[in-house]
Structure formats: C-alpha cells, structure tokens
Amino acid sequence: MMMTIIIFSIALILMILASLISKKTFMDREKNSPFECGFDPKSSARMPFSLQFFLIAVIFLIFDVEITLLIPFIMIMKITSLKIYFLTLSFFLLILLMGLFHEWNQGALKWSV
C-alpha cells in the first residue's frame, strides 16, 4: 500500500514538473496564430492570395495518387508475364511523364511568377 502511494506521488510530481518545464513562456503573434494556406489570417480577408499555392498542391496530389498506383505493379510482377508487365508499366509511366511535361509547358511548376 505504501509503495503504491509513493509511486503515484512520484508520478504526480513528475507530471507537474513536466508541465511546468514544457510550458510556452514566450508569447508571440506568429506562434499564437494558425498558418492558413500561405496567408496571414489576422489580416484583411479581401487580400488576393496566390493561386500558385493551390496549383502546386493539386499537382502534388495528382502525382502522389498516381505514384501510389505504381506500388501494386511490384506485386503483379510475380503473377503476369514479363511482356505484359513491362508494356503496362511503360504505358502508365508514359502517361505520368506526359502529364508532367504538360504541366511544365504550361508553367505550373515555376516557383516565381
């Protein structure tokens, strides 16, 4: 019984000590405000925002989903013939590269406007 009380009291003291040590003591406007899509949420809501931020996010999502579609090709390699496997994989990669080339020609991958 006495050992249980000692363990709980030590745990309580350690939790209080950890809470005091990890407390944020420096209050700053930047640290206290949430980051919302690349613009300051405390400024005027009528400010124009960069459409490029959203274009880069959409391009990332498109290519990220397509790359996750490549993962099953590793599993399929054991159960299909090599000719069909390489034909399908090269066709899929060709579509990916054509999409990347199209976005590059349209200027969506440029970081500066």
Residues 91-108: tens digit of each pLDDT: 988 988 898 888 888 877
Task: Report the C-alpha gap between 113 and 108 in whole angstroms.
Answer: 10
Phi, psi angles (nearest 5°) of residue 17 = -65, -45
Q: What CATH number belongs to 2-106?
A: 1.20.58
**What's the pLDDT tens digit per position in 12-35?**
999 998 888 876 656 666 666 666
Residue 64 is predicted with a pLDDT of 81
Which of these ranges, 1-5, 13-17, 40-44, 69-73, has the smallest mean pLDDT? 40-44
Instruction: Provide the pLDDT confidence category of residue 48 given band limits of 50, 70 and 90.
Output: low
List, in sequence order, every residue forming a beta bridge with 39; answer none if it has no partner: 36
Task: Report the C-alpha gap between 89 and 74 in whole angstroms.
Answer: 10
Task: Please state the domain extents for the chain.
Answer: 2-106
